[in-house]
């Protein structure tokens, strides 16, 4: 850093010069650290708020307060849309709708396309080393995202299926708003080689929003060995969580992360027999509110795999895929459902959701 000079005062000047640059470096490092910690703190507060009803209410208010015009637009659009497409299949109290094969219009073509894309990508997916962060690497060991934004741009039928009246109306009637379409993907689940459940294989609630809807559509026959998506209906979930929270409060030893519940803890609270595993042939599936229904999945046995079409609709603004919203410029409902995705333009989406 210090430039060599020929004069006798050079060593002292060099020293002062180095000291100056050292201090500048230290200062900018400290600032960088402080910003990083502030962001981490903000994320932490936000994450915690999502697991209490008071916190969720606060987030709902802050979502509306952040963009009241957007909230009003969504509300008025949904009233008109739901009037045209009434649908009570997704139960408000229990937060889910089981999908029978062929019950969603257009699903046969989408299943065929998804399987073709998976075959094309499978080899590359298996050879890939996976993401470089510890969190994503852990998830990558058993749960892999197959499609990226480019795939969705090349195969808009997938997005059109996600936004088709036959599917979207289940979500809008349940959520009471035009949701943000957040993710469209194929989830490829394999055995991670161990017996123990890790990450989202452990029962949990998702952190996004107060309500959301996720479609898990099986793309091949799924039995117990293929690690079916498994959930507890919302009404039973809230009763169980109250019981388990009370138990945890009186147990100093409990160190489990908020929003995560081990099978043993659920069994003790009488909850495991309330769980539903989504098994069946290709085309079977579930549309489920993973913010309100405890769930887990991808507990795949060695030698087999699970493949699902995965579509996420959020009531809150989240980070997900980038969709070509210009295709929907003349359709207010679809435009509202996709236009927020421009905020994800530069991001990589590596994990199906942000749970650690
Ligand atoms: O792998 C699964 O079935 C569960 C994934 C999950 O927890 C989620 O997508 O929210
Ligand atoms: Fe989840």
**What's the token pair of residue 89?**
């299949």
Please, where are the H alpha helices in the chain? 10-49, 53-66, 68-84, 107-127, 134-140, 149-154, 156-162, 165-175, 234-249, 263-268, 332-339
Query: Domain tally for the chain?
Result: 1
Walk across the sheet containing 285-288 and list its strands: 96-99, 285-288, 212-218, 306-314, 180-189, 143-145
| Mean of pLDDT values over 51-59 | 73
Q: Give residue 61's Cα distance to chain centre.
A: 21
Q: What is the dihedral of CA 332, 338, 342, 344, to 10 degrees?
A: 160
pLDDT at 13: 63
Q: Does residue 34 have a pLDDT over 60?
A: no
Rg (the chain; Cα; Å): 24
Question: Which of 184, 232, 352, 353 is the best mutation target for the ligand 1 pocket, counting ligand atoms within 8 Å of the beta carbon and taking the most?
Answer: 352
Q: Does residue 3 have a pLDDT over 60?
A: no
Separation between Cα atoms, residue 352 and residue 271, nearest integer Å: 25
More confident residue, 254 or 223: 223
| Mean of pLDDT values over 193-219 | 91
Residue 54 lies in a domain: no
Q: What is the CATH number of the domain that holds 263?
A: 2.60.120.620
Q: Does residue 6 have a pLDDT over 50?
A: no
Q: pLDDT tens digit string along 290-349? A: 999 999 999 999 999 999 999 999 999 899 999 999 999 999 999 999 999 998 776 555
Separation between Cα atoms, residue 21 and residue 23, nearest integer Å: 5
Determine phi and psi for 303, rounding to 5 degrees.
90, 0
pLDDT at 141: 78
Q: Which residues surround ligand 2, an ion (CB under 5 A)?
A: 200, 206, 290
pLDDT at 252: 63
| Mean of pLDDT values over 266-294 | 96
Residue 336 lies in a domain: yes
Q: Whose CA is nearest to atom 9 of ligand 1?
A: 352
Q: Does residue 38 have a pLDDT over 70?
A: no
Range of the domain at 109: 86-344
Residue 51 lies in a domain: no
**Going by C-beta distance under 8 Å and a sequence separation of 6 or more, which residues neighbour residue 216?**
187, 229, 278, 285, 286, 288, 297, 308, 309, 310
| Mean of pLDDT values over 229-256 | 86
Flag the least confident range among 116-125, 164-173, 212-221, 277-286.
Answer: 116-125
More confident residue, 267 or 133: 267
Residue 3 lies in a domain: no
Calculate how far, in angstroms, residue 162's C-alpha sits from the geometric centre of ligand 1. 18
Q: Are strands 143-145 and 230-231 parallel, antiparallel or unpaired?
A: unpaired
Flag the least confident range among 48-62, 150-164, 211-225, 280-294.
Answer: 48-62
Calculate how far, in angstroms, residue 356's C-alpha sits from the geometric centre of ligand 1. 12
Calculate how far, in angstroms, residue 143's C-alpha sits from the geometric centre of ligand 1. 9
Helix (H) or strand (E) holding 217: strand 212-218
Q: Does residue 351 have a pLDDT over 50?
A: no
Helix (H) or strand (E) holding 98: strand 96-99
| Mean of pLDDT values over 119-146 | 74
For ligand 1, which residues put their CB under 6 angstroms from it? 143, 189, 200, 206, 229, 290, 295, 297-298, 352-353
pLDDT at 48: 66
**What's the token pair of residue 28?**
């900018």
Residue 247 lies in a domain: yes
Please, where are the H alpha helices in 134-260? 134-140, 149-154, 156-162, 165-175, 234-249
| Mean of pLDDT values over 217-241 | 97
**What's the token pair of residue 246?**
């009370």
pLDDT at 4: 38
pLDDT band at 210 (very low <50, low <70, confident <90, very high): confident
**Going by C-beta distance under 8 Å and a sequence separation of 6 or more, which residues neighbour residue 95?**
174, 211, 233, 234, 288, 289, 292, 293
Residue 197 lies in a domain: yes
Calculate how far, in angstroms, residue 205's C-alpha sits from the geometric centre of ligand 2. 6
Give me the chain's average pLDDT, please. 85
DSSP line for 164-186: SHHHHHHHHHHHSS-PEEEEEEE
Residue 125 lies in a domain: yes
pLDDT at 256: 57
pLDDT at 254: 59
Q: Give residue 194's Cα distance to chain centre.
A: 24
Separation between Cα atoms, residue 306 and residue 230, nearest integer Å: 13
User: Which residues share a beta bridge with 280?
Assistant: 222
Walk across the sheet containing 260-261 and list its strands: 260-261, 203-204, 295-296, 230-231, 276-277
More confident residue, 197 or 139: 197
**What's the token pair of residue 51?**
């697991």
Q: Whose CA is nearest to atom 2 of ligand 1?
A: 297
pLDDT band at 61 (very low <50, low <70, confident <90, very high): confident
pLDDT band at 45 (very low <50, low <70, confident <90, very high): low
Task: Point out the ligand 1 atom lying closest to the alpha carbon of residue 290.
Answer: 10
Residue 20 lies in a domain: no
Q: pLDDT tens digit string along 96-132? A: 999 999 999 999 999 999 999 999 998 777 776 666 5
Which of 141-150, 204-213, 251-260, 275-284: highest mean pLDDT?
A: 275-284
């Amino acid at each position: 850093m210090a430039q060599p000079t020929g004069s006798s005062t050079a060593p002292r000047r060099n020293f002062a010069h180095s000291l100056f640059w050292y201090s500048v470096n230290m200062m900018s490092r400290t600032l960088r650290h402080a910003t990083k910690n502030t962001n981490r703190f903000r994320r932490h507060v936000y994450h915690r708020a999502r697991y209490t009803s008071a916190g969720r209410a606060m987030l709902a208010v802050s979502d509306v307060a952040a963009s009241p015009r957007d909230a009003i637009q969504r509300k008025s659009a949904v009233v008109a849309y739901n009037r045209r497409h009434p649908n009570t299949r997704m139960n408000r109290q229990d937060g889910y709708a089981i999908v029978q094969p062929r019950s969603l219009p257009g699903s046969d073509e989408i299943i065929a396309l998804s399987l073709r894309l998976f075959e094309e990508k499978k080899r590359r997916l298996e050879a890939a080393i996976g993401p470089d962060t510890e969190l994503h690497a852990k998830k990558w060991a058993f749960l892999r995202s197959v499609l990226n934004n480019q795939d969705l741009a090349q195969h808009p039928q997938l997005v059109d299926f996600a936004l088709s009246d036959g599917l979207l109306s289940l979500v809008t009637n349940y959520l009471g708003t035009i949701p943000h379409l957040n993710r469209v993907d194929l989830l490829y689940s394999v055995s991670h080689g161990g017996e123990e459940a890790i990450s989202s294989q452990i029962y949990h609630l998702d952190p996004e929003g107060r309500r959301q809807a996720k479609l898990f559509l099986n793309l091949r026959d799924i039995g117990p060995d293929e690690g079916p998506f498994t959930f507890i209906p919302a009404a039973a979930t809230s009763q169980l969580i109250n019981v388990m929270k009370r138990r945890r409060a009186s147990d100093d030893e409990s160190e489990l992360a908020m929003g995560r519940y081990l099978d043993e803890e659920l069994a003790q609270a009488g909850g495991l027999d309330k769980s539903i595993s989504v098994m069946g042939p290709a085309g079977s599936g579930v549309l489920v509110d993973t913010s309100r229904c405890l769930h887990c999945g991808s507990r795949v046995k060695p030698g087999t795999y699970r493949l699902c079409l995965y579509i996420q609709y959020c009531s809150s603004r989240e980070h997900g895929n980038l969709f070509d919203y210009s295709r929907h410029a003349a359709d207010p409902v679809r435009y509202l459902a996709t236009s927020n995705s421009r905020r994800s333009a530069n991001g990589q989406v590596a994990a199906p959701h942000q749970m650690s």
